[in-house]
Chains A and B, each alone.
Chain A
Amino acid sequence: MSDLVVTALRFGFLILLWIMILGIVTAMRRDLVIGNRTKTGTPSARQVRRHPELADEQPPAQRIQARKLVVVEGPLAGTTLDLAASPILLGRAQEATLVLEDDYASGRHARLFPQGSRWFIEDLGSTNGTFLGDTQLTRALPVEPGAPIRIGKTVIELRP
């Protein structure tokens, strides 16, 4: 085989290698578009201009800071807990911050954690699930003061 052909094949192979990389990046491109289903983000100014109904949400400056956690229903009803800057573990386990005496709660049921100026609730793979209002948690969601969090038969709320 002539030298010319071998050289052409050599460079052709390097080009093929880079075509492969371009192909992969092209296949990834659509995946890099982040869906607009993230509920925690605030709408941008441009989105508000296009959809005025989005502006109805409370501006972040007026948000009431939660300072207390109150057990509203369940065996521990009436218990309150002051919120500091550290996360709170909810469950029946002894090391939990709030030890729930609730047969329908798991050992490590859920955690409340602060991020920015808000508190988020996250289920820790509990048997019976954690409910914020009527929806069962599938991922961490922000908790507004006054919104009921249900764990088994216990209902807790954040209070300002």
Chain B
Amino acid sequence: MSDILTTPKSRRNAELLLLILALAVGVGANALAGLDQDKGFSRDFYVQSLTLAILVLAVHVVLRFRAKYADPVMLPIVAVLNGLGLAMIQRLDVAMDPPTTAAARQLMWTGIAAAVAIAVILLLKDHRVLRRFTYISLIISAALLILPLLPGVGMELNGARIWVNLGFATFQPGEIAKITLAIFFAGYLSTNRDLILLAGKKIGPLQLPRWRDMGPMLAAWLVSIGVLIFQRDLGSAILFFGMFMAMIYVATSRVSWVLIGLVMIAVGGFMAFKLFPHVTARIDGWLNAFDPDVYNRAGGSHQIVQGLFGLASGGLTGTGLGQGRPDLVTFANSDMIITALGEELGLIGVSAIVLLYLLLVSRGIRTALGTRDAFGKLLATGLSFTLALQCFVVIGGVTRLIPLTGLTTPFMAAGGSSLLANWLIVALLLLISHAARRPAPPAGLAGTHPPAGRPGRRRDSEQARLAAGAGEGEQR
């Protein structure tokens, strides 16, 4: 873990300029897709453009007041991705017969997500508060993961049991669980780093950890396997375990953890492939995608192959927004939105989108490098790695690099829970980057006041002593 310092400077004006550009892209995409419909701009177009602009600018204004030094490029990137996704969902809505209303729902969830992000920035102020909730977040994560399995509340859709029925809408609690799990991992690893670092056996250049320190890794592995067995959700299982592996590697800088994790993934993956028919089907549809038997089977490779055909017909420059046929792919507006965009924007457009994700993740990692506290570093790394892993699993899945799994494309895919969770992640990253980039309190000040002389601190320490005394009493 290293510190990299830059001169503190609020870059809110740069952010505003980029935001205007971002809104131009989002609104432009919507307008271009609407051009082909031959009936002028519908009411939907104005409602969507205005709402998106108001929401994004509201977040910007809140940042001006509460997190002045936050990273200037994260919000514009999120605005572009959200705008592009919204435009594509709207465009697919119109193409469906009869027209669907996914775009209106997506717009509503964008509003909720942006409002929650604003609330987090206003109420939280300092990310270090979250460290106090280390074990509470573990309990919340467990509750969120168990919720869809409860009869009555949970519901099964498309073979995966990851939804909760709220009455007016459905929700995937697993999306929020990845944030609470990141908070738990960051709190746990920043406190117990030294214990985990204690050296065990050494094999060649590889320093293995002690057996008893493998507990947390094993627990993360069991949770992921549990998600795979009970919820039948391969994507989330990969996401949770990959996030823990990345965070433990960043906390300890030991390659042996990554190797142990990869072995565990190999074992778990092989077992899942042999034991669970839904995993076997996914891998079969990946390896033998163009086999007519697999293509025509229910739940076979039809979806992924249609997506590939779409990408192929897009070519280098794409068919143009509103002029392709991405609606032929099943779940074109959620799982397969990348192929829909690839068909209409071409390789040039899709590589721009992938680059936007890369820039967003790199800003998150940069935030981790700049933060002064270990908890913030780990949290920022974990959250940005989650975004990166989601992109890899989804985009890799639809382009047939890896088996297709059910994760969502962050900020773009139709789906409220994913949108809400990813906006929350960005709100937390913005807060951490504010803490990282704001001017450090002058060092001289701290030196002139000895700690015992500070009344507030003194009281804290005495309370701590009392608490410690009480603890000892219980032990006796």
Task: Establish whether residues A24 and B321, one from each chain, have CB atoms under 8 Å apart when the complex forms.
Answer: no
Task: Establish whether residues A9 and B317, one from each chain, have CB atoms under 8 Å apart when the complex forms.
Answer: no
Task: Establish whether residues B321 and A138, one from each chain, have CB atoms under 8 Å apart when the complex forms.
Answer: no
Q: How far is the CB of B389 from chain A (nearest CB, A)?
A: 22
- Interface presence of B452 (CB below 8 A): yes
- Interface presence of B468 (CB below 8 A): yes
Q: How far is the CB of B315 from chain A (nearest CB, A)?
A: 12
- Interface presence of B269 (CB below 8 A): no
- B residues near A21, Cβ cutoff 8 Å: 352, 355-356, 359
| Interface segment out of the listed A43-51, A58-66, A126-134 | A126-134
Q: How far is the CA of A95 from the CA of B191 in the complex (A)?
A: 12
Task: Establish whether residues A23 and B464, one from each chain, have CB atoms under 8 Å apart when the complex forms.
Answer: no
Task: Establish whether residues A6 and B195, one from each chain, have CB atoms under 8 Å apart when the complex forms.
Answer: no
- Interface presence of B22 (CB below 8 A): yes
- A residues near B460, Cβ cutoff 8 Å: 127
Task: Establish whether residues A31 and B346, one from each chain, have CB atoms under 8 Å apart when the complex forms.
Answer: no
| Interface segment out of the listed B11-19, B41-49, B165-173, B228-236 | B11-19
A-contact 0/1 string along B436-454, CB 8 Å cutoff: 0000110100110001100
Number of interface residues of B (CB under 8 A): 66
- Interface presence of A147 (CB below 8 A): no
- A residues near B21, Cβ cutoff 8 Å: 16, 19-20, 23
- Interface presence of B345 (CB below 8 A): yes
Task: Establish whether residues A104 and B197, one from each chain, have CB atoms under 8 Å apart when the complex forms.
Answer: no
- B residues near A27, Cβ cutoff 8 Å: 11, 14-15, 18, 72-73
- Interface presence of B415 (CB below 8 A): no
- B residues near A138, Cβ cutoff 8 Å: 372, 440-441, 443, 446
Q: How far is the CA of A85 from the CA of B197 in the complex (A)?
A: 11
**Contact A87-B3, Cβ < 8 Å, known A19-B21, A128-B452, A136-B447:** no
Task: Establish whether residues A86 and B198, one from each chain, have CB atoms under 8 Å apart when the complex forms.
Answer: yes
Q: Give residues 61-101 of A contacting B (CB, 8 Å).
A: 85-89, 92, 95, 97
Q: How far is the CA of A16 from the CA of B443 in the complex (A)?
A: 45
Q: How far is the CB of A138 from chain B (nearest CB, A)?
A: 6
- B residues near A108, Cβ cutoff 8 Å: 191
- A residues near B452, Cβ cutoff 8 Å: 104, 128
Q: How far is the CA of A131 from the CA of B375 in the complex (A)?
A: 20
Q: Which residue of B lies closest to A85 (CB)?
A: B199
Interface size classification for chain A: 35 or more
Task: Establish whether residues B356 and A135, one from each chain, have CB atoms under 8 Å apart when the complex forms.
Answer: no
B-contact 0/1 string along A5-48, CB 8 Å cutoff: 01101110110111111011101100101110110000000000
Q: Which residue of A lies closest to B452 (CB)?
A: A104
- Interface presence of B76 (CB below 8 A): yes
Task: Establish whether residues B451 and A87, one from each chain, have CB atoms under 8 Å apart when the complex forms.
Answer: no
- Interface presence of B25 (CB below 8 A): yes
Task: Establish whether residues B32 and A139, one from each chain, have CB atoms under 8 Å apart when the complex forms.
Answer: no
Task: Establish whether residues A35 and B356, one from each chain, have CB atoms under 8 Å apart when the complex forms.
Answer: no
Task: Establish whether residues A127 and B77, one from each chain, have CB atoms under 8 Å apart when the complex forms.
Answer: no
The residue that B352 contacts in the complex, of A11, A17, A35, with Cβ under 8 A, is A17
The residue that B73 contacts in the complex, of A24, A89, A134, with Cβ under 8 A, is A24
- Interface presence of B349 (CB below 8 A): yes
Task: Establish whether residues A35 and B4, one from each chain, have CB atoms under 8 Å apart when the complex forms.
Answer: yes
Q: Give residues 1-36 of B contacting A (CB, 8 Å).
A: 1, 3-7, 11, 14-15, 17-18, 21-22, 24-25, 28-29, 32, 35-36
Q: How far is the CB of B77 from chain A (nearest CB, A)?
A: 7
- A residues near B363, Cβ cutoff 8 Å: 28
Task: Establish whether residues A103 and B320, one from each chain, have CB atoms under 8 Å apart when the complex forms.
Answer: no
- B residues near A111, Cβ cutoff 8 Å: 193-194
Task: Establish whether residues B14 and A139, one from each chain, have CB atoms under 8 Å apart when the complex forms.
Answer: no
A-contact 0/1 string along B182-205, CB 8 Å cutoff: 000000001101110111000000
Q: Could you list some 23 contacts between A and B, CB below 8 A?
A: A6-B36, A10-B317, A13-B321, A14-B346, A17-B352, A20-B352, A20-B356, A21-B356, A27-B73, A28-B359, A34-B6, A35-B6, A87-B194, A89-B195, A103-B461, A111-B193, A113-B194, A122-B374, A125-B128, A128-B461, A138-B440, A138-B443, A139-B372
Known: A14-B345, A28-B359. 15 other contacts (CB 8 A): A11-B317, A13-B28, A14-B318, A16-B25, A17-B25, A20-B21, A24-B73, A24-B76, A24-B356, A24-B359, A28-B363, A35-B7, A97-B194, A127-B460, A129-B451
